Chains A and B, each alone.
Chain A
């Protein structure tokens, strides 16, 4: 079946063979390799995307169920030369090591900041509780939010 949806503001169509996930379609059919596939069980958050306004795990979304949906992936937020302020802050504060969790953290973090521009540390930790990072210990990631908050008030 053919599914039409909006991805990062652009209309797209995808040919769905069965019950594959949105993550598979993004990566394998549409060439959007930003969203990572680490567990395919909803446990790690490396596949986080915004689906119709909510951050969800793309690996648990059935692509066939996405007709008319609006999807935002990490590719929406910046390019290698022109980073989103949160991406820049993640770099500056060493919130990235191996980088595998980073796309999910960026999607979740930017969505949090859109909804709540001045989150408390508890709110940040809660928002990121579904994004597992095995490398950084989260210190750099939390400092990235701090840096943005400081820059915002200067």
Chain B
């Protein structure tokens, strides 16, 4: 088998069970870059572009094959905001949320939203059916996930009591076509505040100490907001690489988190 254009999910899962080393191909915006640069030559590939089940979408369950272009108008504000910042119109027309999750880059712009809303990843295989995994268990390292060789990512699910307010923003070197230096989602609702960040740790992360601190405040004062930003900067675990430095990312994380919290509270 060299290439299979799967017509439905069953066909994709059968192909993957028979060829566990085959690579799924969704929009190709991550995989084809690797192939073109000859960094990576899959032994075989399974095309998912025609699988309708993966394009199903409700407010609480988003199919892996939903493109960024579609997500630009998703009712979850922070997800739509993130979608609008991905790449370019060409990239958003092809690239999918499932591909973002499959690549599991620390800079994946869809991932902080999943973390902030305590999302789960729905996986499926031919032999074991569906299993649903909390995001914390799924993302295990830089571009590493807990997916098994015969599994496909089918959807992202988020819990029912979604927070009333949610905001996404990212920092990058320009406006369009830019990989995040820091990305952040803050949510605020009856259950309090959550803060998730991207590009500042091997996986998407929650700033849990900052969450605890701010959740103890009824009406956060100026001093409390500053303290919140300081704790976020302290909690993140960024590195210095070709895109930015550790100290800039720390600073940016605190600034973004505070700014988004203020937007959620206004």
Contact = CB atoms under 8 A, between A and B. Distances in A.
A45 to B, nearest CB: 6
B3 A127 contact: no
Contacts of B36: 21, 40-41, 59-60
A121 interface: no
A112 to B, nearest CB: 9
Contacts of B31: 62
Contacts of B45: 19, 62, 64-65
14 contacts: A18-B41, A21-B36, A40-B33, A42-B29, A43-B177, A57-B94, A61-B32, A62-B25, A62-B28, A64-B5, A65-B5, A65-B49, A108-B89, A130-B90
Contacts of B47: 62, 64-65
Contacts of B37: 40-41
Interface in B131-185: 175-177
Interface string B31-64: 1110111000110010101000000000000000
B interface, over-half SS:
mixed
A48 interface: yes
Contacts of A62: 3, 25, 28, 31-32, 35, 45, 47
Contact of B42 (A19, A43, A45): A19
Contact of A60 (B2, B29, B49, B69): B29
B255 interface: no
Interface of B: 2-3, 5, 25, 27-29, 31-33, 35-37, 41-42, 45, 47, 49, 69, 87-91, 93-94, 175-177
Contacts of A16: 3
A1 interface: yes
A19 B41 contact: yes
Contacts of B32: 19, 21, 42, 59-62
A75 interface: no
A64 B89 contact: no
Nearest to A64: B3
A108 B93 CA distance: 12
Given A41-B37, A60-B32, A60-B33, A129 B89 contact: yes
A65 B48 CA distance: 9
Contacts of B69: 54
Nearest to B4: A64
A73 to B, nearest CB: 14
Contacts of B49: 65
Contacts of B89: 55, 108, 126-127, 129-130
A6 to B, nearest CB: 16
A42 B3 CA distance: 22
B83 to A, nearest CB: 13
A56 interface: yes
Given A19-B35, A21-B36, A42-B33, A64 B90 contact: no
